[in-house]
Amino acid sequence: MDKELIIRSSSDNVDFALLKDGKLIELQKDEDSNAFSVGDVFIAKIRKAVPGLNAAFVNVGYEKDAFLHYHDLGPKLPSLLKFTKRVSTGKLNDFSLKNFPFEKDIDKDGKIADVLKSNQSLLVQIVKEPISTKGPRISSELSIAGRYIVLVPFSNRISISQKIEDKAEKDRLKRLVKSITPQGFGIIVRTVAQGKKVAELDKDLQNLLSRWTAMCKKLHKAHHPSKVLGEMNKASSILRDIFNDTFTGITVDDEELYYQIKDYVQEIAPKKESIVKLYQSKIPIFEKFGIERQIKTSFGKTVSMAKGAYLVIEHTEALHVIDVNSGNRSNKANSQEDTALEVNLIAATELARQLRLRDMGGIIVVDFIDLTKSENRQKLFNHLRDEMKDDRAKHKILPPSKFGLIQITRQRVRPEMNIKTREENPDVVINGKEVEAPIGLVQTITQDLEKLLKKDYKKLTLNTHPFIAAFLTKGFPSVRSKWFLEHKKWVKILPRDAYTYLEYHFFDKDGNKIK
């Protein structure tokens, strides 16, 4: 399995594309304008407590106040408030927490008005970026993520990732981490820490303690509100969270970013440093790796899949609805049930990819094709769970109902990735309306062509709009040339001025239109 990270840099943002065997499975953007990223820590002011919601609205410098629920305060809130006040006023210069006296924990089911007051200063962390009309969601239970561990100030707990299943390994890691954890801090051991030595874990810990100290030093002169601890740059944070031994390549088109990534990989996985490559061709990097084409065909309301099947993705304010369609594929299966199962399994694989690619969150309802046999419904459920194992967002999948519906909840911490796949209609007659992008239309034409070739048509002619005809025939290798190399049949393409942009028709050797 090939796993590659392709990084495109421009003046105002950086795009990250994660490929698995050449297929785009994750797309992220790092924009300079994003001042509220998940993991950022702010020194903020409580605007007001709202007893009815048992929450407070907090001024973090965003146009809409951030939302802080009582359950996101953390049990050690009084200790955090006391520490923040003493450090901000310059009365405390020791940030180690070793000699800091902890206050009594807050009541688990208490009231927000009993613990927070208006205009109070508080350290908070972004747990959910601003989405739609809502401000950021925040927590006062701070954590600083490293490569192998997560540092939790004002805690004494040591937890191990649930994804580490080996009990002996869990015990080993707990023992090692306990021996190096400083007083006043808790540790969460990440999945990638499996098999690591104490020296590697300690190096990660010391780096996180340095970041904590640097943040505390800013508090004395910090404005309210302001960011006092930012997540590391997107390239490093992505590599920190997803990089492992299965990676076969990291390609970047910016020299400065290339050296940053090379240094970071050298630090976390020296043996893998050689997979970092600087891309220097004149062809844009996303074009070279086929990412631009995949973006155009993977986003949008309809998503094509193998064997003629397709997904229809609808968005509402409350949830996402996804419909699975078999299309007009030829039925080679023994029964309708076998056909439905085959299409559903293909759809489950594509669905797992789409959720990561678009970063869809909240409630997702999927209408699979009805399956009458309970063992087939179980097979579909297990397959979907396996496909979503690599998804880093927290998610829960419910078994399929008798109606074929599967409900999924997926953690949403950032706005959904939404890429415009339709373009302005070049037809002067109906200008102003948007139409499918050429690459999407070409994919539809290609799928229709493959169906006709399976029906053994000896000679085919394609009539289409001049723009599309040029798109199919120009360049080397052209789309038509690729068709010929794959199917060993030459397709005659005729431009038709009278056709609208989306219109095309195939004709047989006798000039009869094929419906």
Query: For the residues of 416-434, what is the DSSP string, one character each?
Result: PP----EEE---STTTTSE
Determine the Cα–Cα distance for residues 186 and 171; give it in Å rounded to an integer: 16
Relative to beta strand 460-464, strand 144-145 is unpaired
What is the torsion angle, in degrees rounded to the nearest 10, for the CA atoms of residue 169, residue 171, residue 177 and residue 180?
-120
pLDDT at 448: 83
User: What is the SS3 assignment for 379?
Assistant: helix
- CA 174 centroid distance within chain: 30
- Cα separation, 300 vs 132, in Å, equals 19
| pLDDT beyond 90 at 34 | no
What average pLDDT does range 25-38 have in this prediction?
75
- Pick from 439, 440, 496: which is nearest to 465 by CA? 496
Q: How far apart (Å, rounded) are the C-alpha atoms in residues 3 and 62?
A: 37
Rounded CA separation 309/311 (Å)? 7
At residue 240 the predicted structure's pLDDT band, cuts being 50, 70 and 90, is confident
What CA–CA distance (Å, rounded) separates 139 from 222? 19
The residue among 465, 462, 457 whose CA lies nearest residue 487 is 457
How many alpha carbons fall within 13 Å on the CB side of residue 165?
0
Instruction: Name the pTM for this structure.
Output: 0.69
Pick the range with the lowest mean pLDDT from 281-285, 369-373, 426-430: 426-430
What's the confidence (pLDDT) of residue 509?
Answer: 84
Cα(95)–Cα(114) distance, integer angstroms: 27
Query: pLDDT > 70: what percent of the chain?
Result: 91
Query: CA-CA distance, 228 to 87, in Å (whole number)?
Result: 13
Q: How far, in Å, are 296, 450, 479, 513 from residue 482 at the CA level?
A: 19, 12, 5, 24
On the question of pLDDT at 177 being above 90, the answer is yes
How far, in Å, CA of 515 to CA of 506, rounded? 8
Residue with tokens 């000896």: 458
- Residue-level pLDDT at 418: 64
- Taking phi over 0 as left and psi of -120 to 50 as alpha, with beta for the rest, 221 belongs to alpha
Is residue 426 within 8 A of residue 497, CB to CB? The reply is no
- Which stretches of 117-224 are DSSP H helices? 167-180, 198-219
pLDDT, residue 167, reads 92
Distance between CA atoms of 304 and 350, rounded to whole angstroms? 9
Average pLDDT value for residue range 150-158: 93
CB atoms within 10 A of CB 431: 9
Q: How many CB atoms neighbour CB 144 within 10 A?
A: 21
Give the pLDDT band (50/70/90) at residue 419.
low
- Is the separation of the CB atoms in 322 and 37 below 8 Å? no
- How far does the chain reach from its first CA to its final CA, in angstroms? 41
CA distances (Å), 313 to each of 27, 300, 475, in order? 18, 8, 34
Residue 413 has pLDDT above 60, yes or no: yes
Q: Could you tell me the maximum CA-CA distance found in the chain, to the nearest angstrom?
A: 92
User: How far apart (Å, rounded) are the C-alpha atoms in residues 215 and 148?
Assistant: 21
The dihedral of CA 465, 470, 471, 472: what is its sign?
Answer: positive
Dist CA 360 CA 364 (whole Å): 8
pLDDT at 432 over 60: no
Which whole-number Å values give the CA distances from 392 to 321, 326, 411, 438, 481, in the listed order? 21, 29, 9, 33, 40
| DSSP conformation class of 4 | E
- Encoding tokens for residue 506? 């195939």
The token duo for 366 is 């999927």
Nearest to 8 by CA among 258, 264, 291, 252: 252
Question: Rounded to the nearest 5 degrees, what angle is found at the Cα of 242, between the Cα atoms of 236 and 243?
Answer: 75
CA separation for the pair 307, 327 (Å, rounded): 8
- What pairing do the DSSP bridges indicate for beta strands 247-252 and 276-278? parallel
- The pLDDT score that the predictor gives to residue 27 is 87
Q: Residue 429: its pLDDT value, please?
A: 47
Give yes or no for residue 326 having a pLDDT over 80. Answer: yes
Res. 250 pLDDT band, cuts 50 70 90:
very high
| Beta carbons of 338 and 379 less than 8 angstroms apart | no
Joined together, the tokens standing for residue 400 give 């399929």
Q: Both tokens of residue 281?
A: 């061709």
